[in-house]
Amino acid sequence: MATDWLGSVVSINCGLTLGIYQGEVSSVDHSCQTISLKQPYHNGVRCPLPEVTFSAVDIKELKFLDIHNTVNKPGTGQGAATESSFNASARRGQSNKVALPHVPNNSQSTTAPITILRRAPAASSNSRGATQATQKKSGARNGGPARTRDDECFGAGTDENMDADFDFEGNLALFDKAAVFSQMGGAGSHSGRAQHHGAPGDPRPASYRHDENILEAKPVVYRQITVPQPGGQEFCTDSGLVVPSVPYELHKRLLAAAERWGLSLERRLETTGVCSSQMALTLLGGPNRLTPKNVHQKPTVVLLCGPHIQGAQGVSCARHLANHGVEVILFLPNFVKMQESVTSEVQLYSGTGSKQVASVKDLPTSPVDLVINCLDCHENPLLREQSWYQSAADWANQNRAPVLSIDPMVGSQHRSVEAKWILSLGLPLPLAETDSRVYLCDIGIPKMVFQEVGIRYHSPFGCKFVIPLHTP
């Protein structure tokens, strides 16, 4: 009789996929070959469902842990025989069905089960996943033996009714908005205007909105650099700081004072080369152009240099560009007399293996990516009249490539090379009327050096070494 098994505690092994279930038999349906467990445990963890129903085709092994009926009376041996017959039936390889006892029509098994676990066909894997989703996986892996549970901690108090809806309106009614707004410094209204700013005679401390600054901000001083002879050409940064220009004589005194403090010409050349090459790399496209996957499209840069300090700055820039994978062509004519700084920089540049030419005829006839002009000299403006200078300037103007001029000559004379960008060093020099975009480079001059030549200085560079300058 099916009622003989009701109330018995059994362990059902459903294989590696579904795992092991334990619980009290609540119903047995002989015709449908199903068995239902109430208050089940899955792999040692309490199931969230009050009842689970199994089909005989899914049962690998069925064991009785506690037979609650008279069929297991002492001395009869009937319980052991029944368990053996259940285990033997579950292990049959042909039908894989458990011979469940006959259940009469008036038995408890007529109650519809809550959940029925069915084995999906072998060709469908999604059905099996949907079956597994009905139960929560536990820590037991691969259908291993169920873990021992501490009934004192986990065995009681788990049958609470979780279907009751939470009373949000009743809970919200317990919240006293007026009292809370009063504590926050408001007037007790619900309009949301609880903030006030300490009106005269109001004993309450001032409060502020989330977007208000509670610290008193000092006014911003935009003129943080002053020169001994104001009134010259002025520029401003992106943040509005005023950067005045300085005459060339004052700029020359500033560099001389920097050398006395230890900022030698070699260190200035290196700093100028690094900053100007970084600016050139940005103009060439930066990481969008110079990548390991773009080796067949390396940018080409031509540097036009003279036999002076400005030319040495250009050679230093050429060396750094070559070190970063740029195709560099250095134009430097063969002079009878060349400054020692230029000779040292050329020797370093030769270690990169990049190209160096002494004649304009050896320069590319097709447009290049960028031309860097370092032909001008502050000390000797008569170089413009020499043939090599004019030939190089004509080539630059006819190449149709954008031009970057580093530390160009001051004054209002007509420029031999029309530059799209101008890079000034330290402080800008007075520049002629031009459409060029002006940038300023930090060459590392300390603040005390500026003070020595009468310049009150506060760095406008912020987190950068090259910044754009705009005309007011």
pLDDT at residue number 180? 80
Percent of the chain with pLDDT over 70: 71
The gap between the terminal CA atoms of the chain, to the nearest Å, is 102
CATH second-level architecture of 2-154?
Answer: Roll (2.30)
Q: Answer for the pair 392, 331: CB distance below 8 angstroms, yes or no.
A: yes
The pLDDT tens digits of the residues spanning 166-209 come to 888 878 878 888 888 777 765 444 444 445 555 556 665 666 67
* Model confidence at 122: pLDDT above 50: no
Length of the chain: 472
Tokens 């209002």, residue? 412
Taking the C-alpha atoms of residue 43 and residue 14, their distance in angstroms, rounded to an integer, is: 11
**126-140, 166-180, 273-287, 426-440: which has the highest mean pLDDT?**
273-287
Q: Answer for the pair 181, 189: CB distance below 8 angstroms, yes or no.
A: yes
Residue 59's nearest CA partner among 106, 105, 25 is 25
Percent of the chain with pLDDT over 90: 42
Taking the C-alpha atoms of residue 55 and residue 119, their distance in angstroms, rounded to an integer, is: 8
pLDDT at residue number 414? 60
pLDDT at residue number 48? 87
Q: Give the residue with greater pLDDT, 47 vs 124.
A: 47
Beta strands in 83-211 (DSSP E): 116-117
Model confidence pTM above 0.75: no
Taking the C-alpha atoms of residue 252 and residue 324, their distance in angstroms, rounded to an integer, is: 32
Which residues 6+ apart lie within 8 Å of 366 measured at CB? none
Around Cβ 323, how many Cβ atoms within 10 Å? 13
Q: Give the residue with greater pLDDT, 338 vs 461.
A: 461
How much of the chain is helix, strand and coil, in % rounded to 5?
Answer: 30, 20, 50
Q: What is the mean pLDDT of the chain?
A: 78
Q: What is the dihedral of CA 66, 72, 78, 81, to 10 degrees?
A: 0
Out of 177-181, 317-321, 465-469, which region has the weakest mean confidence (pLDDT)? 177-181
Taking the C-alpha atoms of residue 422 and residue 466, their distance in angstroms, rounded to an integer, is: 11
Which residues 6+ apart lie within 8 Å of 330 measured at CB? 303, 305, 314, 315, 318, 349, 354, 355, 356, 357
pLDDT band of residue 109 (cuts 50, 70, 90) is very low
Taking the C-alpha atoms of residue 186 and residue 432, their distance in angstroms, rounded to an integer, is: 61
Can you name the CATH fold of 234-290+297-469? Rossmann fold (3.40.50)
Burial of 89 (0-12, 13-18, 19+ CB in 10 A): middle
| Mean pLDDT to the nearest integer, 456-464 | 94
User: DSSP states of 399-412 as a string?
Assistant: S---EEEESPPPSS
How far CA 331 is from CA of 14, 118, 354, 359, 422, in Å, comes to 84, 83, 11, 7, 19
The pLDDT tens digits of the residues spanning 134-163 come to 444 444 444 444 445 555 565 555 555 566
The pLDDT tens digits of the residues spanning 365-412 come to 999 999 999 998 888 888 888 999 999 999 999 998 999 999 988 764
Residue 158's nearest CA partner among 49, 234, 57 is 49
pLDDT band of residue 228 (cuts 50, 70, 90) is very high
401 alpha-carbon distance from chain centroid = 36
The pLDDT tens digits of the residues spanning 57-68 come to 888 888 888 766
In 387-411, which positions are buried (b, 16+ CB within 10 angstroms) versus exposed (e)?
Answer: ebbebbbebbeebebebbbbbbbbe
Around Cβ 213, how many Cβ atoms within 10 Å? 7
Domain positions in the chain are: 2-154, 234-290+297-469
